[in-house]
Amino acid sequence: MKPKTRTGLPGMSVDDIHRTHYSDQIQDSIVGEEISIAGWIEDVRDIGKVAFLTVRDIRGAAQVILSNETLKKAIDTPRQSAVIVSGVVQHSKSKDFPLELKAGKIAIVGEAVHPLPIDPTGRVESSLDKRLDSRALDLRNPKTSSIFLLRSKVLDNIRMTLRSEGFVEVNTPKIIGSASEGGANLFAFEYFKKQAYLAQSPQLYKEQLVLALDRVFEIAAYFRAENSNTVRHLTEFLSVDIEAAFINYEDAMDLAEEVIKNVFRLQMADRKDSDALNDLSKIPIPDSIDRLTYEDCVEELCKEGEKLEFGDDFTDASLRTLGKLHNGFYFIKDWPLELKPFYIHEKEDNLKLTQSFDLQYGYLELISGGQRQHNPLKLRKRLIEQGLNPANFDRHLEVFGWGMPPHSGWGLGFDRLMMVLTHSDNIRNTVMYPRDPDRLMP
């Protein structure tokens, strides 16, 4: 059966549907031409003889003029319904729209309910929670969609940078048979008759892969049972991971810097997409990123009156203090051995320290990385020191006897990077369907 258009409206069957133009393609050069646009009714204005519709699509909005009684019936359609309009482009007297489409035909192809759960124009504000409950509709708000248009471009840009540095994109398993980095925060589930886990990171796999592929990167979601409701943790988050053979941790920091700088260059070149966001120019493109040591930071914090000793981890409060002392991006490197996972390489000249780093933006940790231990005997020893059972890592450790080169890498919390780029104070803003201890839907 042929789908029908709404009764009482000048007909176009769904078979006629063919968008010829997006709203931003309505320009002087096509005045007088007959075109079709498609989108959602945002506003209607009836001024008597004629009426106006504002039709929004992903690229902007267009004005449609309805100039006879039959066409004017379209203004009874609930707002946010999906429509296709064809007509002729003409000059308009409106302040907001220099050009408009003089409708010849309108098809209401997807009617919206009334009232909607949230107002996607943003005029009536809703809490983040409510917006997340109706995320697909929230995404029709340009302020929300611009975050995700930017997100897609930034991912592209990072892929480009890494490929140009000789990295190959890989995909490692997310269903794993043993804990990759020790027990905490793992989601476990029954896998046929066995116990399996969701991957917390690609750490062990990406290290194995440098032995053959030299330089690898992966962009994927990971899962952590973080039972704390913070603005920077989700139970499912996207991570950009790299691992490279024959590089040290300073080289790995250089690569992180290059990735970040290229993202900022893209952002500046591409401001239009982000207009709906806060003023992005407030974030300066970093020239080079300071590399402080963990011990520098301890000293700074002590000067600020905090009671800290070597070996203490930085609390949230400490990180906020450091964030105030160091605006923007900075590295914290050379962390104490006991604060880092078993696979991190110690410093040759001070065995209490490691060749490790975090990249911070203010208080927010974006990246952790470092040089890895590639000596299987030392790696086994480190596992024991950290209370892990080397037997659970047999399949991993054996790989280190197959000509494992020295290697380094890092993991970048991509959703957190998006927080920085969009001035967002909550990671949930930058993820389409965030997952946290309370939220499993939609």
Nearest to 232 by CA among 360, 369, 410: 360
Reported in sequence order, the residue ranges of 259-375 that DSSP labels E, i.e. its strands, are 290-293, 329-333, 346-347, 350-354, 356-361, 364-371
Q: How many residues does the chain have?
A: 442
Q: Which one of residues 23, 235, 368, 408 is an interface residue with Mn ion (CB under 5 A)?
A: 368
Q: By CB under 6 A, what part of segment 187-226 binds ligand ATP?
A: 224, 226
Pairing status of strand 175-176 against strand 168-169 = unpaired
Nearer to ligand ATP, 51 or 421 (CB): 421
Stretch that binds ligand ATP, among 105-113, 233-241, 249-257, 288-296 (CB under 6 A): 233-241
Q: Which one of residues 61, 147, 199, 234 is an interface residue with ligand ATP (CB under 6 A)?
A: 234
Nearest to 77 by CA among 26, 10, 1: 10
* Interatomic CA distance for residues 120 and 112, integer angstroms: 12
Nearest to 65 by CA among 84, 88, 35: 88
Nearer to ligand ATP, 22 or 148 (CB): 148
Quick check: 264 and 271 in contact, CB under 8 A? no
Nearer to Mn ion, 235 or 368 (CB): 368
Q: Which one of residues 87, 336, 409, 411 is an interface residue with ligand ATP (CB under 6 A)?
A: 411
The yes or no reply on residue 372 touching ligand ATP (CB under 6 A) is no
The yes or no reply on residue 21 touching ligand ATP (CB under 6 A) is no
The nearest distance, CB 411 to ligand ATP, in angstroms, is 4
The nearest distance, CB 410 to ligand ATP, in angstroms, is 8
* Interatomic CA distance for residues 347 and 353, integer angstroms: 6
Stretch that binds ligand ATP, among 87-95, 102-110, 387-395, 412-420 (CB under 6 A): 412-420
Quick check: 166 and 189 in contact, CB under 8 A? no
The nearest distance, CB 296 to ligand ATP, in angstroms, is 19
Nearer to ligand ATP, 30 or 221 (CB): 221
**Residue 226 binds which of ligand ATP, Mn ion, none (CB < 5-8 A, kind-dependent):** ligand ATP
Residue nearest to ligand ATP (CB): 413
Non-local (6+) Cβ contacts of 351 within 8 A are 337
Q: Give the C-alpha distances (Å, rounded to integers) separating 369 from 125, 231, 273, 330, 430.
A: 40, 22, 31, 14, 23
* Interatomic CA distance for residues 159 and 28, integer angstroms: 37
Nearest to 225 by CA among 235, 237, 240: 235
* Interatomic CA distance for residues 179 and 328, integer angstroms: 34
Structure token pair of residue 195: 């116990």
Q: Quick count: other Cβ atoms within 10 Å of Cβ 45?
A: 14
Stretch that binds Mn ion, among 174-182, 221-229, 302-310, 364-372 (CB under 5 A): 364-372
Q: Which one of residues 120, 370, 413, 434 is an interface residue with ligand ATP (CB under 6 A)?
A: 413
The nearest distance, CB 224 to ligand ATP, in angstroms, is 5
The nearest distance, CB 411 to Mn ion, in angstroms, is 8
Residue nearest to Mn ion (CB): 368
Stretch that binds Mn ion, among 100-108, 323-331, 343-351, 362-370 (CB under 5 A): 362-370
Q: By CB under 6 A, what part of segment 351-370 binds ligand ATP?
A: 365-368
The yes or no reply on residue 318 touching ligand ATP (CB under 6 A) is no
Q: By CB under 5 A, what part of segment 77-116 binds Mn ion?
A: none
Non-local (6+) Cβ contacts of 75 within 8 A are 44, 46, 51, 53, 66
Nearer to ligand ATP, 233 or 407 (CB): 233
The nearest distance, CB 344 to Mn ion, in angstroms, is 11
- Binding interface with Mn ion (CB under 5 A): 368
- Binding interface with ligand ATP (CB under 6 A): 224, 226, 233-234, 237, 239, 365-368, 411, 413, 415-416
